[in-house]
């Protein structure tokens, strides 16, 4: 039954592809750590919507080691502060969807969403078909958050 032991493929995984590639701008990778990295969501719920992703290709939190889980949470805390410096949000949503039934778009590689929120933001982001209208481009968001991270003093 050797095939069962074969590691799940990372081919076609957008997180593993982004991690393996050196072009962080194209891939929207904002920051890289020892066990985690931070990447913008290409289909953001609000401006600044990013994801803290473990380097390990695993479908769920319990498959990660505790150091990795701790680093994920540490980076979430850092990026809340980067949000505060760059976007001054009035709130932040943090969430993980594990499994298709829970709403995970990518089920094979667990990731933590970090979404800045403003009062009434669901009103000004009118929805046109499947396209959300956002007040700035992904490229602008990337540059602002990258600069915010570069200037952030509390890195782990």
Return the residue of 51, 79, 109, 114 that touches Zn ion, per CB under 5 A.
109
Q: Which of 72, 73, 49 is nearest to 121 (CA)?
A: 49
Kindly indicate which of the ranges 7-15, 77-85, 123-131, 143-151 contains the residues binding Zn ion, using the contact rule CB under 5 A: 7-15
How many other CB atoms sit within 10 Å of the CB of residue 118?
16
Q: Is the dihedral of CA 23, 28, 32, 37 positive or negative?
A: negative
Q: Is 16 in the site for Zn ion (CB under 5 A)?
A: yes
Q: Is 83 in the site for Zn ion (CB under 5 A)?
A: no
Q: Is 15 in the site for Zn ion (CB under 5 A)?
A: yes
Options 49, 57, 109, 111, the catalytic residue: 111
Q: Which of 117, 110, 150 is nearest to 24 (CA)?
A: 150
- To the query of whether residue 111 is one of the catalytic residues in this protein, the response is yes
Contact footprint for Zn ion (CB under 5 A): 10, 13, 15-16, 57, 109
């Amino acid at each position: 039954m050797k095939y069962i032991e074969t590691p799940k493929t990372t081919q076609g995984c957008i997180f593993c592809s982004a991690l393996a590639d050196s072009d962080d701008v194209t891939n929207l990778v904002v920051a890289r750590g020892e066990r985690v990295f931070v990447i913008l969501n290409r289909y953001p719920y609000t401006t600044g919507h990013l994801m803290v992703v473990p380097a390990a290709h695993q479908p769920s939190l319990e498959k990660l080691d505790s150091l990795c889980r701790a680093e994920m949470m540490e980076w979430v805390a850092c990026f809340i502060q980067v949000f505060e410096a760059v976007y001054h949000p009035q709130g932040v949503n943090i969430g993980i969807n594990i499994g298709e039934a829970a709403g995970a778009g990518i089920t094979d590689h667990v990731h933590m969403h970090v979404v800045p929120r403003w009062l009434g933001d669901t009103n000004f982001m009118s929805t046109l078909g499947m396209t959300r209208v956002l007040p700035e481009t992904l490229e602008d968001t990337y540059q602002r958050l990258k600069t915010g991270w570069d200037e952030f003093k509390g890195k782990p």
